[in-house]
């Protein structure tokens, strides 16, 4: 009886003139990109400006995407390989005409916090691993966007989507097509008409929009109408959200701060006979990078291509900051495609437990299998960092907060205070009564045993 009384009284107190100060309600919305079309063996590398995106001053909590067909069915990687999708933030003229944004001089790109100054400026992005990689930003953190004070007069915040997909139905070499081997695409110039250097065997320069990979003779199939379906979760901005900075680290970054310092992709050579005999067919690449502003790492994940064997990030003193390992599929269904990376493990350190200092030198390591050659591979490491001394503000003085299984606050007024004092007193009395009854019953049960 006393227990029921306590619970009822607690419920009445909680509902009476209160305001819960836990996380603001998460909102979710799913969008579709404009359609793109793929014939067997064809490449689509599309850029879509001003895509649908939640409006207002918000904190993004997650962003996920996948390729679907016109019936809404997920498309498996062995049919349409999702090389990457990335979403970039920019400011565009409010009165811009359709097509104006293709002229990049008419928009202001809003890049992430680094480190590659001329590439990898996206806020969100994944590849084949997109269906099984966690992107949730834990509370009380968020990727804060849409602040009107940051938008220049006459502009508004918008978002740009780049989708790079490769149709591999009927191709002669599925892996070679997804790794953009130049010989399979029969190209000698890039998308801008510049000659491709002779020692470049494969990568982004050879699989640009509308290029065609080599097909099996006689293979025929339909042109597909496809979309990138993307789901955004967010909360409305409020002062207790702790903003995070986005850093994308590139294993090819030379650290020179030049336009060419981040090459994004590289080639893995096949191991030699001695390495193969010793079971040492692993290609390891290492780079060291200086992070300008430190803080608490609250999330980390790597991006690798087929053949990837994992990536790790270390602090200047050798401490492990985060490890991200790929998982490979074992079947044919979307999300479990054999021999494709279908997910990357993520790091969620306890807040405050993994810190990096301003100007600290980090070491990034990439491992790939070298049982065979791989072209156009990547190793990017995406981390979210909450800068130092960004604790959520304390509740106002007219708030009283409780920390138990659930943390909650009550906005105080004279009336609420009186009810609260009386209620707490009654709860205390009831609790004491329950405790005495519990111990009395326990004693009697033991005595009668």
User: pLDDT tens, 270-296?
Assistant: 999 999 999 999 999 999 999 999 999
Domain count, the chain: 2
Measured CA to CA, the distance from residue 165 to residue 86 in angstroms comes to: 12
Cis status of the peptide bond prior to 359, with omega within 30 of 0: no
pLDDT for residue 348 is more than 80: yes
Does a structural domain hold residue 297? yes
pLDDT for residue 11 is more than 80? no
Task: Tell me: do 10 and 57 sit in the same domain.
Answer: no
* pLDDT of 416 above 80: no
Last residue of a domain, one of 360, 386, 412: 386
Given a cut of 50, whether residue 419 has pLDDT beyond it is: no
Name which of 228, 237, 248 is nearest 160 in CA terms. 228
- 364 and 311 share one domain: yes
Residues 199-218: tens digit of each pLDDT: 999 999 999 999 999 999 99
For residue 408, tell me if it sits in a domain: yes
User: Are both 13 and 150 inside the same structural domain?
Assistant: no
Q: Which of 368, 386, 404 is the last residue of a domain?
A: 386
Name the domain boundary from 386, 419, 435. Answer: 386
Between 351 and 344, residue with greater pLDDT:
344
Of 68-77, 288-297, 404-413, least confident by mean pLDDT is 404-413
pLDDT of residue 12: 38
One domain for residues 411 and 329: no
80 and 120 assigned to the same domain: yes
Full domain range(s) for residue 11: 2-18+396-447
* One domain, residues 417 and 283: no
Do 403 and 333 sit in the same domain of this protein? no
Tell me, yes or no, whether 376 lies in a domain: yes
> 225 and 191 share a domain?
yes
Residue 391 lies in a domain: no
Q: Using 50, 70 and 90 to split pLDDT, how confident is the model at 256?
A: confident
Give yes or no for residue 384 having a pLDDT over 70. yes
Pick from 5-9, 134-138, 259-263, 356-360: least confident:
5-9
pLDDT for 439 beyond 60: no
Decide if 180 is inside a domain: yes
In the three-class reduction of DSSP (H, G, I as helix; E, B as strand; rest coil), residue 299 is classed as: strand
Which token pair is 235? Answer: 């909360």
Same domain, residue pair 349 and 305: yes
Between CA 231 and CA 32 the distance in angstroms is 9
Q: Look at residue 276 and tell me if it is in a domain.
A: yes
Kindly state whether residues 97 and 199 are assigned to the same domain: yes
Task: Flag whether 321 is in a domain.
Answer: yes
Examine the domain organization and report whether 280 and 356 are in the same domain: yes
Same domain (yes/no): 324, 428: no
pLDDT band at 390 (very low <50, low <70, confident <90, very high): low
């Amino acid at each position: 009886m006393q227990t029921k009384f306590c619970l009822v009284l607690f419920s009445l107190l909680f509902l009476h003139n209160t305001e819960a100060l836990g996380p603001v309600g998460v909102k979710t919305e799913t969008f579709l990109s404009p359609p793109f079309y793929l014939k067997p063996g064809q490449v689509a590398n599309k850029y879509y400006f001003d895509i649908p995106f939640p409006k207002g001053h918000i904190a993004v909590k997650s962003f996920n995407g996948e390729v679907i067909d016109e019936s809404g069915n997920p498309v498996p990687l062995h049919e349409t390989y999702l090389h990457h999708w990335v979403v970039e933030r920019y400011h565009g003229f409010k009165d811009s005409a359709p097509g104006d944004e293709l002229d990049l001089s008419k928009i202001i790109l809003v890049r992430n916090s680094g480190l590659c100054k001329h590439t990898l400026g996206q806020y969100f992005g994944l590849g084949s691993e997109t269906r099984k990689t966690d992107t949730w930003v834990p509370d009380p953190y968020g990727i804060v966007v849409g602040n009107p004070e940051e938008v220049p007069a006459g502009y508004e915040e918008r978002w740009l989507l780049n989708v790079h997909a490769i149709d591999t139905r009927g191709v002669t070499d599925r892996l070679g097509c997804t790794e953009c081997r130049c010989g399979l695409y029969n190209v000698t110039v890039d998308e801008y008409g510049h000659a491709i250097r002779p020692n470049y065997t494969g990568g982004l320069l050879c699989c640009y929009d509308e290029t065609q990979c080599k097909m099996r003779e006689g293979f025929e199939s339909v042109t597909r109408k496809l979309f990138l379906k993307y789901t955004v979760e967010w909360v409305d901005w409020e002062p207790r959200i702790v903003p995070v900075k986005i850093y994308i680290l590139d294993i090819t970054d030379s650290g020179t701060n030049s336009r060419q310092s981040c090459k994004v992709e590289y080639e893995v050579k096949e191991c030699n006979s001695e390495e193969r005999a010793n079971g040492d067919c692993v290609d390891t690449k290492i780079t060291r990078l200086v992070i300008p502003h430190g803080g608490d790492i609250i999330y980390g994940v790597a991006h690798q291509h087929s053949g990837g064997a994992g990536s790790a990030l270390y602090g200047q003193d050798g401490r492990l900051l985060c490890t991200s390992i790929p998982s490979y599929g074992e079947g044919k269904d979307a999300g479990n495609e054999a021999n494709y990376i279908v997910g990357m493990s993520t790091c969620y350190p306890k807040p405050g437990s993994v810190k990096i200092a301003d100007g600290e030198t980090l070491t990034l390591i990439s491992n790939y299998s070298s049982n065979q050659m791989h072209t156009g591979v990547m190793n990017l490491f995406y981390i979210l960092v909450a800068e130092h001394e960004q604790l959520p503000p304390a509740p106002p003085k007219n708030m009283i907060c409780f920390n138990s299984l659930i943390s909650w606050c009550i906005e105080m007024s004279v009336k609420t205070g009186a009810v609260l004092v009386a209620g707490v007193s009654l709860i205390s009395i009831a609790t004491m009564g329950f405790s005495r009854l519990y111990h009395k019953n326990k004693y009697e049960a033991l005595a009668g045993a």
